[in-house]
């Protein structure tokens, strides 16, 4: 008797440890029995009363989850060759493309565009396997991935506050004037009047788009298409998005970026007193502390920097500082990557000799239309067996005027000179 049948020959669910110990043949039989049990539950569910319905639905879900896991185990046993290594992010896109493969092919045959909104999750280091579904391939070459040109890490996108919106225009109210205040008053005396003035501000979504021309053979080769989307379209998209968030000038179709909002560093007491610097032998860290002081004082202590953006040349040079005995002054920089408790974001997006100190949570990047790809033909493509692949998204970025105090951009050498004690 099978272990999933009791003395009354009724089906009994096994624990996962028991399932894993089954032979491949028994796993297949158990799966069939499980599916028959699920059908029985469906029949019972159709005839049951509302009191039992929720319990049966929970049981149905439990069976479904176990069936899915069993199928994955059986598929893993069958996949002993002809596999390509893909990380989880690539795997997710590949599965989405595989699911829409017939629709994409039909659209291209009819010379119609086809849109696919991709669910792009953060990349993971763990890998999995995917068996190609092309039955015409007699063998699979040894796939070793794709080597692309280097892409700058998206340190600004990683730092700023992110969210989503269902409107192409974002509206917010900003307090610009406050009159009156609380006061100590006599019993029965006139209470002081307090009033505020608010301005309405808006920011509209901006589109980021790019196009790549591919052959229909590339479209049908899903792993290659996945690699191209991740390595080229999506990365180029993110690169431009970050450049706009950081340095957009706010004109035309451009974002108004952080540098347009950022304040100039003007050292005050105690760093500069009566026009004279007070800091002995100031270095990069001193300028960061000075910049954060400006943020905290200007905001009455409401904002405090959490991120410092530096060019790698400035950061690496600072790490070489040694005391008069030859020991490194800041040995923790080799591993911790923080200065004055603030995360150091290293990127060539910022010019050498400059620094950006910011409370990154005060920046708002809202996604209005997620990144999607569209397949279609343009003039001459159909005759030459080429397909255009467009990648695009729409986003809103803004910093309120009040919260622009949380961003300070400055020249490192100039600041060191200003705060240096003669």
Summarize pLDDT for 365-377 with one digit per residue, the tens: 999 999 988 877 7
The neighbour count for residue 236, using CB atoms within 10 Å, is 15
Is residue 197, in this structure, part of any structural domain at all? Answer: no
Which residue segment(s) compose the domain that 163 sits in? Answer: 145-168+206-422
Is residue 184, in this structure, part of any structural domain at all? Answer: no
Cβ(363)–Cβ(399) under 8 Å? yes
114 and 152 inside one domain: no
Report the candidate in 247, 250, 274, 267 with the shortest Cα–Cα distance to residue 258.
247
Q: Take residue 329 and report the two structure tokens written for it.
A: 């002054």
Range list of β-strands (E), 14-133: 83-87, 114-117, 127-131
Q: Which residue is it, tokens 């003669």?
A: 422
Q: Which of 228-232, 295-299, 355-359, 418-422 has the lowest mean pLDDT?
A: 228-232
Query: For the chain, what is the mean pLDDT?
Result: 81
In whole angstroms, what is the distance from residue 295 CA to residue 285 CA? 16
| Coil vs helix vs strand at 154 | coil
Q: Which residue is it, tokens 């309120």?
A: 400
Q: What is the dihedral of CA 389, 390, 391, 395, to 10 degrees?
A: -170
In whole angstroms, what is the distance from residue 403 CA to residue 135 CA? 58
What is the CATH classification number for the domain harbouring 379? Answer: 3.30.2320.10
Per-range mean pLDDT, top range of 229-233, 320-324, 385-389, 411-415: 411-415
Summarize pLDDT for 159-206 with one digit per residue, the tens: 999 999 999 999 988 888 888 888 899 888 888 888 888 888 899 999
Is residue 152, in this structure, part of any structural domain at all? Answer: yes
Q: What is the pLDDT of residue 118?
A: 66
Query: The whole model's pTM is what?
Result: 0.67
Q: What angle do CA 47, 52, 53 make, to 5 degrees?
A: 70
Summarize pLDDT for 25-75 with one digit per residue, the tens: 888 887 888 888 888 777 776 666 555 666 667 777 776 776 677 666 666
Is residue 372, in this structure, part of any structural domain at all? Answer: yes
318 and 351 inside one domain: yes
257 and 156 inside one domain: yes
CA-to-CA dists, residue 238 to 149, 156, 241, angstroms: 15, 11, 5
Q: What is the dihedral of CA 239, 243, 248, 251, to 10 degrees?
A: -20
- Tell me the backbone φ, ψ of residue 354, rounded to 5 degrees: -110, 160
210 and 252 inside one domain: yes
120 and 234 inside one domain: no
**Exposed, middle or buried: residue 101 (CB in 10 Å: 0-12, 13-18, 19+)?**
middle
Is residue 50, in this structure, part of any structural domain at all? Answer: yes
Residue where one domain finishes, among candidates 105, 131, 157 = 131
Answer yes or no: is pLDDT of 317 > 60: yes
Summarize pLDDT for 318-355 with one digit per residue, the tens: 988 888 888 888 777 766 688 888 999 999 999 999 99
99 and 160 inside one domain: no
255 and 162 inside one domain: yes
Output the DSSP codes for 359-400. -GGG-EEEEEEEEEEEEE--TTTTTTTEEEEEEEEEEEEE--
Is residue 366, in this structure, part of any structural domain at all? Answer: yes
94 and 150 inside one domain: no
Residue where one domain finishes, among candidates 131, 160, 185 = 131
Residue where one domain finishes, among candidates 107, 131, 155 = 131
Is residue 349, in this structure, part of any structural domain at all? Answer: yes
**Domains: count for the chain:** 2
Q: What is the pLDDT of residue 375?
A: 76
339 and 416 inside one domain: yes
163 and 302 inside one domain: yes
For residues 137 and 192, the model is more confident at: 192
Is residue 292, in this structure, part of any structural domain at all? Answer: yes
154 and 96 inside one domain: no
123 and 154 inside one domain: no
């Amino acid at each position: 008797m099978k272990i999933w049948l009791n003395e009354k020959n009724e089906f009994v669910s096994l624990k996962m440890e028991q399932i894993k110990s089954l032979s491949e043949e028994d796993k297949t039989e158990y799966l069939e029995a499980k599916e028959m049990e699920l059908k029985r539950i469906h029949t019972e569910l159709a005839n049951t009363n509302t009191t039992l319905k929720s319990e049966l639905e929970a049981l149905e879900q439990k069976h479904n989850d176990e069936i899915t896991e069993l199928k994955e185990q059986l598929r893993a046993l069958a996949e002993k060759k002809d596999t390509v290594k893909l990380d989880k992010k690539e795997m997710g896109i590949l599965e989405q493309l595989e699911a829409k493969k017939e629709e994409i092919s039909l659209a291209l045959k009819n010379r119609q565009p086809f849109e696919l909104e991709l669910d792009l999750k953060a990349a993971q280091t763990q890998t999995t396997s995917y068996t190609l579904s092309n039955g015409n391939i007699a063998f699979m070459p040894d796939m070793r991935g794709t080597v692309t040109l280097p892409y700058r890490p998206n340190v600004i996108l990683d730092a700023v506050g992110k969210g989503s919106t269902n409107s192409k225009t974002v509206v917010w109210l900003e307090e610009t004037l406050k009159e009156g205040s609380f006061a100590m008053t006599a019993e029965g005396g006139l209470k002081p009047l307090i009033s505020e003035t608010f301005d309405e501000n808006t920011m509209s979504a901006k589109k980021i788009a790019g196009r790549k021309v591919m052959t229909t053979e590339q479209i049908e080769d899903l792993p290659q298409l996945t690699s191209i989307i991740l390595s080229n379209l999506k990365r180029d998209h993110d690169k431009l998005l970050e450049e706009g968030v950081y340095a957009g000038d706010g004109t035309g179709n451009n974002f108004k970026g952080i540098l347009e909002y950022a304040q100039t560093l003007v050292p005050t007491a105690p760093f500069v007193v009566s026009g004279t610097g007070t800091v002995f032998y100031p270095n990069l860290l001193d300028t960061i502390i000075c910049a954060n002081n400006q943020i905290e004082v200007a905001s009455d202590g409401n904002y405090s920097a959490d991120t410092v953006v530096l060019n790698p040349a400035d950061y690496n040079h600072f790490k070489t500082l040694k005391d008069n005995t030859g020991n490194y002054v800041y040995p923790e920089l080799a591993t911790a990557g923080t200065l004055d408790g603030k995360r150091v974001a290293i990127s060539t997006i910022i010019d050498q000799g400059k620094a950006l100190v910011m409370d990154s949570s005060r920046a708002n990047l809202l996604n209005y239309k997620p990144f999607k790809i569209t397949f279609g033909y343009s003039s001459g493509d159909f005759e030459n067996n080429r397909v255009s692949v467009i990648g695009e998204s729409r986003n809103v970025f803004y910093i309120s005027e009040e919260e622009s105090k949380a961003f300070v951009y400055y020249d490192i050498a100039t600041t060191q000179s200003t705060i240096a004690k003669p």
